[in-house]
């Protein structure tokens, strides 16, 4: 069983963001609880999937457990904090909900190396409010959208120099 190394319940802040130029960005998920700052390195597609999955989960929660939502975190709370020293690279991610405390939880497991013992993988859990998770979802989707445009045919990112689209039999297409 993987090792739980951080269980931030609740987080003071949580975000997903990227550093660098489109096409060369590095993506992170980051949370803080008091003086504990946890940064996880992740892929763009993980941020995209997280934003989408959070939105679906929050819709489901709001239907089943309706309540007026409070204000979301300020945009300044959604910026990455220094130092950007990732604890590990994200592998599996999961979402859950605890109705008793009205907490949404994000669980991130370390990406396994080829020869790594699965029982030695590290895991973090970030417990947050609906408002914090909605802001994370919205902000994460915005971060992903700031990247290179996607090809309408194959869905892959288009480089500024053009794009070799497999749906066009490998022919270069300039958009």
Q: How far is CA 153 from CA 78, 163, 164, 173, in A?
A: 33, 11, 11, 11
In this prediction the pTM is: 0.87
Q: How far is CA 47 from CA 18, 41, 108, in A?
A: 10, 10, 12
Q: Does domain 3-148 have CATH number 3.30.2450?
A: yes
Dist CA 175 CA 161 (whole Å): 9
- The residues spanned by each domain of the chain are 3-148
Q: Are strands 26-33 and 3-8 parallel, antiparallel or unpaired?
A: unpaired
pLDDT at 164: 79
pLDDT tens sequence across 55-104: 999 999 999 999 998 999 998 899 999 999 999 999 999 999 999 999 99
pLDDT at 155: 76
Q: Do residues 159 and 170 lie in contact, with contact meaning Cβ atoms separated by under 8 Å?
A: no
DSSP helix/strand/coil, 136: helix
More confident residue, 161 or 107: 107
Per-residue DSSP letter, 118 = G
Dist CA 75 CA 68 (whole Å): 21
């Amino acid at each position: 069983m993987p090792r739980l190394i951080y269980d931030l319940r609740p987080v003071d802040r949580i975000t997903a963001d990227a550093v660098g130029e489109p096409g060369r960005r590095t993506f992170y998920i980051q949370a803080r609880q008091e003086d504990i700052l946890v940064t996880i390195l992740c892929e763009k597609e993980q941020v995209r999937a997280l934003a989408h999955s959070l939105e679906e989960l929050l819709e489901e929660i709001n239907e089943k457990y309706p309540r007026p939502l409070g204000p979301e975190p300020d945009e300044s709370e959604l910026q990455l904090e220094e130092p950007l020293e990732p604890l590990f690279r994200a592998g599996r991610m999961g979402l859950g909900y605890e109705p008793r405390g009205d907490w949404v939880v994000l669980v991130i497991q370390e990406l396994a190396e080829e020869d790594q013992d699965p029982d030695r993988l590290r895991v973090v859990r970030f417990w947050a409010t609906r408002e914090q998770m909605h802001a994370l979802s919205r902000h994460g989707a915005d971060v992903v959208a700031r990247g290179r445009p996607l090809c309408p045919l194959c869905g892959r990112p288009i480089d500024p120099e053009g794009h070799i689209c497999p749906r066009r039999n490998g022919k270069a297409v300039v958009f």
